[in-house]
Amino acid sequence: MNDLQDETPEAVMDAAIARHDLVGAVVCVAQDGQQVWQRSVGLADRDNARPMQEDTIFLLASVTKPVVAAAAMKLVEQNLLHLEDPVSRWLPSFRPELRDGSAPEITVRHLLTHMSGLSYRFSESLHSPYHALNVSDGLDQPGLSLEENLSRLVQAPLRFVPGTRWRYSLAMDVLGGVMSAATGEKLPKLVEDIILSPLNMIDTGFSVVDHKRLAVPYAGDGRNLVKISDGMTVTMGAEKVIFAPSRLDNSASYPSGGAGMAGTAGDILRFLEAIRLFGRGILSKDTVAAMVAEQVPAGTRGLSAGKAFGYGWGIISDPEAAISPLSPGSLQWGGVYGHNWFIDPLRKLSCVILTNTTPEGMSGRFVQDMQKAICRSFEVPQDEF
């Protein structure tokens, strides 16, 4: 492996394409309030040799989560929702039980922090209730309603007492239902009014605004990359993710608060910058301060080493333990279609990495190399820290 100490972001992107690790990618970087770098490489559609463009639209998967979390926190600001509200206040039939038959209350706070006791099907064993009940992870089963998916999910035992552990889960999908019930508005309209419209995120939403610009998703590694089709299961380590790229084309598909949006890198960058600047245009400074605080501290059972969790995203608590080039307090997450993003407050950086290749574009070598190259290229002098 070449020494990456002097590799530029351009070189990292070109190398990933040359290695066939990626089919295509778009990366956007903003620093200190200004977009300072953007580049697209590779193909958005390999079969038709359609090049990746800076305005290519991607299925966002979990890049959806921070946007929906921010919309939820706006409802908290407006006293339409409260962090300690029991989910059952808004969704009376949603009272999942522990294995002992008790039904502890899940709160809005538990949903936002992934401490609800819920899980994802893709992280459960094939013999688990999630598979037996055919629970959707918000990425598959076009045409499935939220009511039906919650009726399946509520039958699966909670993994732990809410508030005692962290586990990545369908919590944000449940939160989407809570938000709709609390306001009488559908989730896409809430997100549009609260986040997308104020930030002029015109290419992003719970449907694809222009299919001619939509990236075709691929999975695998090296020269074995294959186009993801409906019903395809992609193995990622111990996890098996079921995809249905056509899901957003079916208007009957429920708007997944955890995985249901599509959009562009430029739109997501504007959102991240609004968060980095403590809510400019969408949220109060106090609200964002709570969102970026360690609501789930590092060391909590279920979290990876060196990482904490706020409202809607992971937090780099200890970069050395997390094996991360990012500064302490940085926000970071990804998306299972092949995405990654981060906000580094000390470097005054926001970065969006969207690819059409999973898992490489979510958690592979490309992401690690890209984060390092961007942090080196857009470093802030120490006397400004």
**DSSP-assigned states of every residue in 264-304:** -HHHHHHHHHHHHTTSTTTS-HHHHHHHHS-SB-TT-TTSP
Q: Is the pTM of this model over 0.75?
A: yes
- Looking at residue 381, what is its pLDDT? 56
Q: What is the largest distance, in Å, between two alpha-carbon atoms of the chain?
A: 58
According to DSSP, the β-strands at 218-219 and 357-358 are: parallel
Q: Which segments of the chain have a pLDDT < 70?
A: 1-6, 381-385
- Chain segment 101-113, per-residue pLDDT in tens: 999 999 999 999 9
SS3 374: helix
Whole-angstrom distance, CA of residue 256 vs CA of residue 194 = 17
In the numeric block, the tokens 């120490």 are attached to: 382
Residue 216: closest CA among 22, 20, 15, 13: 22
Strand ranges inside the chain, DSSP E: 24-31, 34-45, 50-51, 58-59, 218-219, 226-227, 233-236, 239-242, 262-263, 307-309, 314-316, 331-335, 339-344, 349-355, 357-358
| Integer Cα distance of 45 and 189 in angstroms | 30
> Which residues, 6 or more positions from 376, have their beta carbon under 8 angstroms from its beta carbon?
5
Q: How many whole angstroms from its chain centre is CA 304? A: 17
Beta strand 307-309 with 262-263 is unpaired
According to the model, what pLDDT value does residue 1 have? Answer: 37
Question: In 69-142, which ranges are E strands?
Answer: none
The CB density around residue 159, as the number of other CB atoms within 10 Å, is 21
Which of 62, 116, 317, 330 is the catalytic position? 62
Measuring CA to CA, which residue among 138, 120, 132, 352 is closest to residue 236?
120
What b/e readout covers 199-232, taking b as 16+ CB neighbours within 10 angstroms? bebebbbbebeeeebbbbbbbbeeeebebbeeeb
Per-residue model confidence (pLDDT) at position 5: 54
d(CA 273, CA 345): 10
Round to whole Å and give the CA distance between 135 and 183.
26
Query: How far is the C-alpha of 279 from the C-alpha of 286, rounded, in Å?
Result: 9
62 tagged catalytic: yes
pLDDT value of position 131: 98
pLDDT at 222: 75
pLDDT at residue 6 in the model: 66
Q: Dig out the tokens for 213 from the structure.
A: 């610009």
What pLDDT, in 10s, does the model give residues 3-18? 445 699 999 999 999 9
Q: Using CA atoms, how far apart are residues 117 and 160, in angstroms rounded to an integer?
A: 5
